[in-house]
Amino acid sequence: MLIMDRDCKRGGERFAIPSQGEVQGKLVVLEVVAITCLREVLASKNAFAVAALKKKVLRAMKVQCAPFGLSSEDEKAALEYACEFFEEASKEAGRQGATKVATKSAGTARPKGSVHG
> Is residue 31 a contact partner of residue 88, using CB atoms and an 8 Å limit?
no
What was the pLDDT predicted at 6? 61
pLDDT digit string, tens, across residues 67-116: 888 888 888 888 898 888 888 877 877 787 677 666 666 655 555 554 55
Instruction: With cut-offs at 50, 70 and 90, classify the pLDDT of residue 9.
Output: low
Residue scoring higher pLDDT (2 or 32): 32
Report the alpha-carbon distance of residue 58 to residue 56 in Å, rounded: 5
Mean pLDDT, the chain, integer: 75
Closest CA to 37 of 23, 49, 48: 49
Instruction: List helix spans (H) across 1-117.
Output: 20-43, 47-65, 72-108
- CA separation, residue 114 to residues 45, 98, 103, 106, 111 (Å): 36, 28, 21, 16, 6
What was the pLDDT predicted at 88? 84
Question: Residue range 28-38: average pLDDT?
Answer: 81
What was the pLDDT predicted at 1? 47
Domain extents in the chain:
45-104
Closest CA to 79 of 106, 54, 110, 109: 54
Report the alpha-carbon distance of residue 94 to residue 92 in Å, rounded: 5
Question: Residue range 51-75: average pLDDT?
Answer: 86
